[in-house]
Structure formats: C-alpha cells, structure tokens
Structure 1
C-alpha cells in the first residue's frame, strides 16, 4: 500500500513540477510543447490547438508566421476579424482562423511568458482546391477547316492540379463515345488540334482536379467553318409527262449563307408549279437537304437544273438533267407448232418443228418449197415394230444377268 502511494507521489512530481518562492509554493504551468502539423482546405476554419494547465498569473499569447502578436490572453489585438479565441474551458487556448486563405500558411506560436519562455509551434498548411481562372483560359472560338486550333485551360490550386480534356460527342455523330457520352483526348493545360476538320467541332471541356475538393470544369465551343460541298444523289433523272417528281440536293457547309435551285440561271421560287423545301440531315452535322418538287411535268420542264450554294469561304454548284421517261414496247413472241408427218407408220408418227403456225406448202414431188420455212428435226428417233421387239428382248436378257 505504501509502495502505491509513493508511485503516485512520484508521478505527480514528474507531471506537476513546482518551485519554492519566498512568499510560498506556486505551481509552474503544464504546457505541451510538441509540434503540431495541421492541414486545412482553403475557405474552411482552422483550429490551432493549445492547452495550458495551471496557468496561474502567466500570460498566453499567439504569434503569426511574421512573429506579430495576434492575441494577449483572451483579447484579439489585430484588426483581422477572422481570428478568434473563444476559450471553451479554462485550459483551452485554441486559436480559430475562419475562412482560411493560402497566405495564412506558416508556423504559428502559442507562448507563455515563463522564464525561459515556453512555446508550442503549429505548422499550418493550406490546400487550395483546383480552380480554372478566367484569365488566360480560352473561350468559344471559330476556325477555318485545315487550321491549327489551340485551347488553353488555366488552372490553379495546391497541390498543382491535373487537367484532363474531354470532347462531347454530337448526337448526330457516329464516333465512339464513353459511357458519359464524351470522348477522352490528351491531358494537359494546352490542347492543340492540328489540321482541324469539320468533324472535330463541338464542345470541349477541361476538368481540373487535385483531390483536395470537387473538380472544376470549363467548356469551350469550337466551331469549324468550311466552304460548301454539293452532292447530287442522281445526275440524270427520268419522269413521265404529267407526273410529279422531286429533285434532291445535299449541301455540306458551315455556315450556309446562300442556297437555291436554278433553271437557266434563274432562281426557282416556290409557286403552284414548284415547291422548294429545305431541312436538316438528322444523320450528319452541318448538312442541309434542298428538295425541288415539280408538279405535273410538261415538255418544257425537261432539261438542266442547277443546285447552287455559297458562303464567305467559297461557292459550289452541281447540275442534273431531267428527261422524259419512255415506255418500252415488248418484242413479238415466237410461236412453235408441232405438225405430225405421215412418213412413218400409222402407230408411230414422227414430228417436225416449224417456226410458224402454218406448215409450208410442198411441191409436186413431195419436197418442201424453198424460202424462210425450214423444217427441223424434233430430235426423237422412231423405231419399227421389229426393232421394238429386239430392244425388249435385249433388255430382258440384261436384267436376267
């Protein structure tokens, strides 16, 4: 029992050292001087812990990284209202810094004016979430096909953020997309697109992240302009008189500033005779279809029709021919008639084939007359009765073997 009391007493001597002064006994403050490493995300509140037991008449003060005094006891002695010392208990001297910023980073000191002065250091590190700043970042651009396009995403943050580029796939494109409907392209703050084509246009998005907080993103609309290109599904088209027909012209261009059908160099307008329809191609971007509907075709409607398209970059035209459809007549059919001959026996007649319904007349000697009628053999051999009997006898002997 006495051993346990001695151990407790020695433990108290270690934890609570004291000195004897002339006016009596007084305890020295108990102060943990171990260093603290504190990491806080910018914009949040930093809590710099400091605990002092048995402070007595000693004073506690906080100093910033520039060694400027922030607080003296409970009082804040600087104008920065973000700093507070609420003291939730007698031994609590935790310093609060609200809306922490990157410039607040550094070594803070919690000190007691003992002799020598005791100090507890807190190393404050401020992490800055990834942000894309407007200055130096690209915005929506328009560029001609075949040029080089440079997209810049100016990102900042601590630690340095990683920038990843994505391209949103247009709904009318057949390109392969990821599950999110985006195609991944090269990483980095600068994206270069060499020899850009009309199929490279669309929405590009850069995403900056450094695993501190939520990622930041920025979208850039890239529009690729190019001169018109006309395609005619049919360059020659036939139709009957008094029928209706539709001539079709497919135009690929960006932008499409001028588009029309012409006849003999004159623009064709919608009327009772013609109807001109323009609509988008739902399977290909930057593509228009111009239809010319011609009602009740007359003789004078046959001829050349020209589709014309132009913009600031160039012009294109293609011509198709509308001609009259002619119904083809069928050639006369050749008939064949079998006429029995009387050269053979009555029981086994033979046949001759003639290329006309009428059998040619014979001369007096029984031979056919010369001319266009020439008999031809049917290809059948006629046997006499004796030959039939001999054939059957041979067949029976063969089967008996």
Structure 2
C-alpha cells in the first residue's frame, strides 16, 4: 500500500510541474503577469515567410500586377516594399511613399499576405521587388516581376490603294498577349469609326489562339472621302496604322505602289503654268516686205515648236532693222 501511495504522489507532482511549465511558456514567468508580446512554439518563434508564396510574377503591359508577400506570425512588425533597381521605398504597411499613384499595398488578412499592387504596368516596371519585415535583423523576400509586351500590326503594306466601290478589309493582329483586349477601337484620321450602319462599315474581334487576337474593319463600297489614315487601338496597348487611298477611275501605274513615283496631275500642271511670269509685250515692228520671206498660212495642225521658231525669226529681224537703216544713212 505504501508503494502505491508513493507512486500516486509522484504522478500528481509530475502533473503539477507540467501545468506550470505550460503556463510559463504561454504567459511568461510565474507571478510576472501576462506579457504584451505573443510567444510562439514550434519551428518558428517569430515572423517568417511562407515558402509556398510565389517569387516570380509575369504580367502583360497595361494590366495590373499583384506581388504577394506571405508573412506568418507577423505580430506587430511592419512590412515594407522596396524597388531594388533604385532602392526606392514604395510602401510601409498601408502607407505609400512614392509619388507614382500606381503603387499601393494592402493586407489580405485571411492569408496573411501583404500584396503590392502595380496598376497599368509599364515596360520599365520589370525587375526585382523586395518585401522587408521590420525585425532585427531585417528579413527580406524577393519577387521578380516580368512584363510581356504584345506585338500589334495591321496586315499588309503601310499604304493601301483600292478602287472606289471595292470592299476593303483591314486586319489588326495582336500576338504575344496573355490577356484578350477588352476592346479594339478603330480610328479614321483620329476620329473613331462606329459601325452603326452595318451596310457601310462592320467591326469584328476574334480570339484565334491563346495569345492572339484579330480585329477586323470592313468598309463596304468605299468612296474618295474614305481615304486617309486608319489605326487600330486595343485597350491598354499601343496602336498600329495604315494609309488607305481610294481611287476613282483609271490612275497611272505608279499610283499602284505606295513607294513609287507619282505622275503629275493636270491640275498641278495648270498651277505650275500659272506661276510662270508673263512675257513683256514687244513693240510694233515696221513693215519689212523686202526682208521677210513669204510664209504660208499656218495650218491648224502646225506644231507649237514651229510657231516659236517663227516668232524668234521675227524678233531677230526687228533687231537687225535699225542696223541696216543706219548703214543706208552713212552711205548717203
């Protein structure tokens, strides 16, 4: 009986000691009261980065990027985001320390994630960003931001020549795009093209591949006034343009090529002729029947060169006349 009682006392003492140790680990030393700093038991006794958080983010030009930083057991420590290329502090907790309003940080409490948001990403935003926790020493987690720049072009030559009344189809192809554009706007000489009347103009957009979108502008029965610059402008991307020439009637062969020489139009020839200075009027010449050979009347089909030659001959004789008269007077 004594041995059993002794064992019972030892077991009871062990339970009391275990309870005391648990209290000390969770609340601090006995009699010291609860502490403000929370104690953690396990592998990490303070803040640590969740290793499952991604450290490589790829986004498309013009969209929004979200850089995550999962910090467990953060307690009352602060979290900062720093741009590595220039060591610029972007945010500290929810406060922003850069004039660029595209940067903002917010906390997703359900996942203990401090996320850096970059709105309307630009190509220069690519690089490494540091998530820093205000411990001693500092703790850092790095995230690489990659920016994909889609390629946009209008299929065909930069200048397009079509006959009036011939249907025109302009194709705007966007490749290397992670996201499909919300819209593709078409502009004619900086004025937006609207497809209210589908018998005149039709606009289409189609996702033909995981990274390719095609926008199509169809102009039915184009007229001369439909000539000009046409550009396609997808959402959050640059634009591409083409010059359309709508020709009426037959045109010189050189007009069929965008880079070829163009023949002078009749209107230009008339303007050039009008710009020439007028010739002064010649004084009346005395009759010289003895000096002038008999000239037949000009036929309707006489060439302009022959008329010019005759005028020059008359001018030469007019200049020669005073010389002959002077010689006659000297002989007398």
TM-score w.r.t. the length of structure 2 is 0.39
Structure with more relative contact order (C-alpha pairs < 8 Å, separation 6 or more): 2
User: Structure 1 or 2: larger helix share?
Assistant: 2
Larger radius of gyration: 1
